[in-house]
Amino acid sequence: MKRKSALVKSTRKSPPGSAPGQLTVGRSSGAPNIRVMAFGPDRILDQTVTNVSAIVDLRKDFPVIWVDIVQFGDTQLISDVGEAFGLHKLALEDAVTSHQRPKVEEYSDHLFLVALMLDGQGSIDTEQVSFFLGDGYLITFQERPGDCFTRARDRITNAKGRIRSAGSDYLCYALLDAIIDGYFPALERQGDILEALEDRVVRSPELGNIAELHDMKRNLLLLRRAIWPHREMFNNLVRDEHDLIALETRPFLRDCYDHTIQLMDIVETYREIASGLVDVHISSVSMRLNEVMKVLTLVATLFMPLSFIASLYGMNFDRTASPWNMPELGWYLGYPFALLLMVGSAAGLLWYIWKKGWMR
């Protein structure tokens, strides 16, 4: 079975030598779907828009506006959004190019953040989500439909918690927190698979176990590759002072930082267990091979004196030529004597092996 490797896969779409800030998207990307949620403590507006001018008009009436753009098939529309909000061209290029690692970059009047979101369908495939955080607005770019922001939208719609009364920085935290929390169920599933593998490896080491263990180690490596930069990103947000992030939001970001540390601890623990299971599997297979070899060696050792006796009395010396030429061949009980000699030799050798503890 041919496997695709996501470890070395590159999804950069811009050809080498392209001008910086050039928007290049893949052919498979569909038309952008722009959903705007504009809200304040007392009112909310949730709608889908098709032009940038409608978004600009909403900024005048609401303290916070969230522009969620899914898919990047229309580069002109993406460029218009960037011009309307004054987004840096390099950051806008990174937002529509799905090869970025989680990071945070500060520009004159906005922050650019990149996070990797799991698809939530049980796999470990990640999707790049880009954030532009500015004064009173948050713009998110998603590669494909479907995300983990449903609860955040419900909190905005139903005015639960402080999300409606806080600024765009708290909204950005809420979405980042949803992304980070999405890694915990994925790791729980990997832990269940690892536990089942552990039972199978210990009880009955089979050839298929080693392939599943390597797949597990590969999945954990991919998760580590996705989680580790988030830790650096949150550390940057908490450590450095950004004018767009209020002091009241920093403790919440610190909580996300703690979650990334917990995730890294879980991933490293699972990786050590998986590596240990590979050693256990190899040791178990070697032990089974040693048991088989011990049985075969025991059988061969027991038949060595029997073969010697049979070959000794199978030599065709002429008894009439000399009285010393195998006188046993002329005995009345020569055949039972040879059989008893074989049985006695085998029994004596078997007792000696047992006494030495080689059969235990």
What average pLDDT does range 313-328 have in this prediction? 82
User: How many independent structural domains does the chain possess?
Assistant: 3
Domain of residue 237, CATH code: 1.20.58.340
Q: Are residues 32 and 112 in the same domain?
A: yes
Domain span at 317: 313-356
Q: Are residues 191 and 286 in the same domain?
A: yes
| Encoded tokens for 202 | 């210990």
pLDDT score, position 26 = 57
- Assessment of whether the complete model's pTM goes beyond 0.85: no
288, 301, 304: which is closest to 358 by C-alpha?
301
Q: Looking at the domain assignment, is residue 324 inside a domain?
A: yes
Q: Are residues 270 and 204 in the same domain?
A: yes
Domain of residue 86, CATH code: 3.30.460.20
Cα distances (angstroms) measured from residue 3 to each of 48, 123, 274:
39, 15, 20
Q: Are residues 25 and 159 in the same domain?
A: yes
DSSP 57-71: HHHTT-SEEEEEEE-
161, 84, 95: which is closest to 128 by C-alpha?
95
Helix residue ranges per DSSP H, 143-182: 150-158, 168-181
Q: Are residues 142 and 199 in the same domain?
A: no
Residue 219 to residue 232: CA distance in whole angstroms: 21
pLDDT interval class at 106 (50, 70, 90):
very high
pLDDT score, position 322 = 83
pLDDT score, position 231 = 93
Q: Are residues 156 and 227 in the same domain?
A: no
| Encoded tokens for 164 | 């409606």
DSSP letter at 327 equals G
Helix (H, G, I), strand (E, B) or coil at 259: helix
Q: Looking at the domain assignment, is residue 10 inside a domain?
A: no
22, 11, 64, 70: which is closest to 41 by C-alpha?
64
DSSP letter at 46 equals E
pLDDT, tens only, 241-292: 888 999 999 999 999 999 999 999 999 999 999 888 888 877 777 778 888 8
Query: 24 Cβ partners below 8 Å, 6+ apart?
Result: 13, 14, 15, 18, 75, 93, 96, 97
pLDDT interval class at 1 (50, 70, 90):
very low
pLDDT score, position 132 = 96
Average of per-residue pLDDT values in the chain: 85
pLDDT interval class at 4 (50, 70, 90):
very low
Q: Looking at the domain assignment, is residue 124 inside a domain?
A: yes
Q: Looking at the domain assignment, is residue 258 inside a domain?
A: yes
Rg of the chain over all Cα atoms, to the nearest angstrom: 36
Q: Are residues 209 and 260 in the same domain?
A: yes
What's at 11, amino acid-wise? T
pLDDT interval class at 3 (50, 70, 90):
very low
Q: Looking at the domain assignment, is residue 83 inside a domain?
A: yes
Q: Looking at the domain assignment, is residue 331 inside a domain?
A: yes
Q: Are residues 277 and 246 in the same domain?
A: yes
| Encoded tokens for 100 | 């970025």
Q: Are residues 44 and 146 in the same domain?
A: yes
What average pLDDT does range 90-119 have in this prediction? 89
Q: Of 105, 134, 163, which residue sits at a domain end? A: 163
Residue 297 to residue 293: CA distance in whole angstroms: 6
Backbone angles phi and psi of 189, in degrees to 5: -65, -40
Q: Are residues 275 and 342 in the same domain?
A: no
Assess contact for 297 and 303: CB atoms under 8 A. no
Cα distances (angstroms) measured from residue 80 to each of 23, 154, 269, 327:
12, 29, 46, 112
Q: Are residues 33 and 154 in the same domain?
A: yes
pLDDT interval class at 5 (50, 70, 90):
very low
Q: Are residues 154 and 195 in the same domain?
A: no
pLDDT score, position 24 = 63
Q: Looking at the domain assignment, is residue 112 inside a domain?
A: yes
pLDDT score, position 291 = 81
Say whether pLDDT at 341 is over 60.
yes
Q: Looking at the domain assignment, is residue 299 inside a domain?
A: no
pLDDT score, position 19 = 57
pLDDT, tens only, 14-67: 555 555 555 666 555 678 889 999 998 889 999 998 888 888 888 888 999 999
